[in-house]
Structures are given as C-alpha cells and as structure tokens.
Structure 1
C-alpha cells in the first residue's frame, strides 16, 4: 500500500489536458470468455502507453464501481488520445477489432462506455488530505494545497468574491 502524505495536497499540470473515463459492465457475467477478452484489453493498452510516453498518456487510476471497472486516464491532449485510438500500430486497434468480432453492439453481454473532458490550463481543482499521490497528482505534479490556494475556488483559479 502506498504511504499516505500527511496534510493537504493538491495537483498541478502545466497547460491544457484531457480526462478520459472508460469502463465496462458485465451485463451477462456468465459469458466468461467474452468478459475475459474485454477485461484484459485495457492492461495491454496501458502497458504500451507507459512504454511509449510520447503517445500522451500522463497517468491513470483504476476504480471498481457498482457497474464494473472504470479507468480514469489523464492525457496531454485530445489529439493524442484520438491518434492512439485510431492508430493501427497501437494495441487499441486490435482490441477494438476483437470487440467487434466477439461482442460488438449486437450482443448485450458486455457493455462499454467512455467519456472525455478537455480541461483548460488551471481550470480544475483537487484536494488530497492524508492521501498517497493519487489521481491527477499522480499524473502531474503533487504540490502543497497552500501553493494552489486554501479554498476550492482559489485552487481552480476563480476570481476572489
């Protein structure tokens, strides 16, 4: 288990960035082969992206929710995210091809979803209290909350009231 950093911390990333959420839901978990194919695709993609930092992935966090696994990813730009997704040389392409062949949208066995958010420089806020380096702080710089501001509004760069 990662060691907690005592006190109030925040995160800093220079410039714009993208938050990409991607998840899946096992609608019919007894279809183990299909579930396994879908579940194991993401670790292969993440390994590739960490081995190729020029692709633009800054970091990720895995969460398991009531509807299934979710990967929260932080990317340098939407252009890099989309380039990775469409590249025939990257592992997303064969995973997507396999998805369409084995599962696709005609079968309700496994559900997939994603959302992406473009974040303008400084237009975000985060606070980590007595937490290890996590989330955006793991993808960027882990800084003292005092450096960013004492209130949420200050940390997201809002004008004082």
Structure 2
C-alpha cells in the first residue's frame, strides 16, 4: 500500500501538459467476448508506455466507476498522445482496429475519451493525508505552502 503523507500537499509540473481520460461502458455486460479485448488492451498499452517514457506518458491511474472502468492519464504533449494512437507499431493501433472489427457501432460496448490541454501553471491541486496521487505522480509532490494556501493562489489566479 502506498505511503500516506500527512498534511496538505500539492503538485507542480513544469510547462504545459495533457490530461487524457479514457473509459468504456459495458452496455451488454453478458457479452464478455465483445468487451474483454478492449478491457485488457489498456493495461498492455500502459505497460509499453511505462517502459518507454520517451513516448510522453507521465503517469496513469485506473478507476472503476458505476458506468465502467476509466483510466486517467497525464501526458507531456497532445502531439505525443496522438503519435502513440496513430503509430501502427505501438499497441493502440492494433487494439483500435480489433475493437472496430469486433464491436464497431453495434452498441454492445461503449468507449469514450476526453483530452484536456493544460497551460503551464493553470491548474490547482490539493492532497490531504494522501499518498502521491494524480498530477503529483506526473510531476513533483510539493508542500501546499509552495503553491499557495488557497485554491485561487494554487491555480495562479490574479489578485489571490
């Protein structure tokens, strides 16, 4: 289990970065043969990405939500994220082709993603009595006082 760091901490990361959320929904959960491939593809992709940091993934975490699994990813740039998705020699491309062949638009499995481009210093984080988590895994885990005592100060709002 991860070590809990008592008190209030924040995260710091140099430069712009990308938050990429990707998930799936089991529209017909009994059709395991339809969703199993997509479900198991993400761990394989992340394994490659963690082995090859030059591809741009900074950190990733899994979550299980009532509507299905979600992976929260932090990337150095949107260009690196898109390059990974398009490169036929990397695991996303064949997984995407397999999904479209097996499921396509039949509605058995839902997939989604959201991409957020974050400008340098235009974010706010707070971790209270938590292990290193989220953006703090992608960048530095710093005492909250270094970033500011209020949410506005931590996100660089003017007049804070």
Question: For the superposition of Structure 1 and Structure 2, which TM-score range results when normalised by the shorter chain?
Answer: over 0.9
Distance 1:34 1:145 in 2: 45
Q: Residue in 1 aligned with 2:118?
A: 119
Structure 2, gaps ≥5 residues long: none
Residue of structure 2 in register with 1:84 after alignment? 84
SS in structure 2 of the partner of residue 24 of structure 1: strand
Residue 5 (structure 1) aligned with residue 10 (structure 2): no
Give the secondary-structure state (helix, strand or coil) at the position aligned to 1:138: helix
> Over the residues paired in the alignment, what is the CA RMSD in angstroms?
0.7
Deviations 1:1-22 (A, max 9, x none): 2121000000001000000000
Separation (CA, whole Å) in 2 of partners of 1:147 and 1:13:
13
1:72 equivalent in alignment to 2:67: no
Residue 95 of structure 2 corresponds to which residue in structure 1? 95
TM-score norm. by structure 2 comes to 0.98
Matches of 2:37 and 2:87 in 1, distance apart? 20
- How far apart, in 2, do the equivalents of 1:79 and 1:38 lie? 23
Aligned length: 160
Runs (4+) of structure 1 exceeding 3 A deviation are none
CA distance in structure 2 between the partners assigned to 1:139 and 1:61 by the alignment:
11
